[in-house]
Amino acid sequence: MAKDIKRIAVFTSGGDAPGMNAAVRAIVRNAFNNDLHIYGIMRGYEGMIDGNIKRLETTDVSNVIHRGGTVLKTARSQRFTTPEGRRQAYENLVDNDIDALIAIGGNGTLTGALQFITEYPDIAIIGLPGTIDNDLYGTDFTIGFDTAVNTAVQAVDKIRDTADSHNRLFFVEVMGRHSGFIALHTAIAGGAGGVLIPEEESSIEDVIKLLKRGAKRAKLFSIVIVAEGNQMGTVYDIAKHVEERVDFYDDIKVTVIGHLQRGGSPSAFDRVLASILGFASVEALLEGKSGVMAGIRNNNVHFTPFEEAIHKSKPLNKDLLRMAHILAQ
């Protein structure tokens, strides 16, 4: 053990993701198992700067594993991007005798953690991938991704009933400004007639050809899944351009699922994933690890340096994308 860890603080930052509470629960319980003092920082980096730090007991994480959102609350902090903000956060941690941090969040959270540990290496930090986008390098799945996909698929299933009943074309937008993981998995699981993602170039002509192939097979309705960060523009623009060029649907509609994907009770998969990674993060700190993100690869816990988790691109499975296009025909 590189450092005698006695007091750990955990916080959630950035966008909330289903399963964050399960991770916090596992961290608190394993901290107590190792006779550590465990603290919760409210509202992420903002709370760290404000000194909003409180001692946690095992009872504080009772009956939270099934809850969405985060019991520690979250926030996006502009102040933490400044040297003054990070200095104030550090002083608050020192005042509370905090030896180590566990940061749960996405790319922005880990970026902040990397900057902080570069300036104050005496505070050890382990990151957990808490984001529905599944876009962090070094882990097969991020906490919240599975739940977000299930929420989107449930919505698509309901939309399908209306689309079929009215001979309609639906463009359904899901989250994913920079990655198409949610869109791709939703398209496959929802039996969609097409998918548009940031990682793949597409044109209105491509969409028209796809829809025409379906029309030739007497397919009376269709659903196209659109990632919000696709390369063709807003889902409304896409729907408008298509409407101007096709006449074999009674109507064309747009549905934006939006922040519904972030909320709700986490799936069993996300609860297990978050518990495994939360548990492992405490063990990692006791083993002297720092500056790494805990992830899951081939069903095993794997630790990736912050620099790689943040800056390396996580590619989509090309075989999965090819399959999605074939199944959409």
274 in Cβ contact with 147 (< 8 Å): no
Which listed residue (99, 133, 135, 270) is catalytic?
133
- According to CATH, what is the number of the domain 145-262? 3.40.50.460
Q: Tell me the per-residue pLDDT of 60-78, one tens digit each, with 9 for 90 and over.
A: 999 999 999 999 999 999 9
pLDDT at 3: 64
- Examine the pLDDT at 218 and tell me if it is beyond 80: no
Q: Tell me the per-residue pLDDT of 117-176, one tens digit each, with 9 for 90 and over.
A: 999 999 999 999 999 999 999 999 999 999 999 999 999 999 999 988 888 899 999 999
Average pLDDT over residues 288-298: 97
pLDDT at 45: 98
What single string gives the DSSP state of each residue in 191-253? T-SEEE-TTS---HHHHHHHHHHHHHTT---EEEEEETT-TT--HHHHHHHHHTT--SSSEEE
pLDDT at 68: 96
- Examine the pLDDT at 323 and tell me if it is beyond 60: yes
The distance of Cα 176 from the centroid of its chain, to the nearest Å, equals 9
Indicate where the chain has its CATH 3.40.50.460 domain(s): 145-262
Helix (H, G, I), strand (E, B) or coil at 142: coil
Who's near 5: CB < 8 A, 6+ residues apart?
36, 99, 100, 124, 285, 286
70 in Cβ contact with 16 (< 8 Å): yes
- Examine the pLDDT at 250 and tell me if it is beyond 90: no
199 in Cβ contact with 180 (< 8 Å): yes
Of all residues in the chain, what percent carry a pLDDT higher than 90?
Answer: 88
Q: Lowest-confidence range among 9-23, 45-59, 126-140, 248-262?
A: 248-262
Q: In what order do the strands lie in the sheet with 7-12?
A: 53-55, 37-41, 7-12, 100-105, 124-129, 292-297, 300-305
Residue 73 φ/ψ region, left for φ over 0, alpha for ψ in the -120 to 50 degree band, beta for the rest: left
The amino acid at 80:
F
What's the sign of the alpha-carbon dihedral 324, 16, 76, 285?
negative
Q: Report the C-alpha dihedral over residues 260, 262, 266, 270, rounded to 10 degrees.
A: 140
CA-CA distance, 253 to 227, in Å (whole number)?
16
CA-CA distance, 187 to 194, in Å (whole number)?
7
**Burial code of 254-265, b = ≥16 C-beta within 10 A, e = fewer?**
bbbbeeebbebe
The amino acid at 174:
V
- CATH architecture assigned to 7-144+266-311: 3-Layer(aba) Sandwich (3.40)
Indicate where the chain has its CATH 3.40.50.450 domain(s): 7-144+266-311
178 in Cβ contact with 229 (< 8 Å): yes
Q: What is the pTM of this model?
A: 0.95
95 part of the active site: no
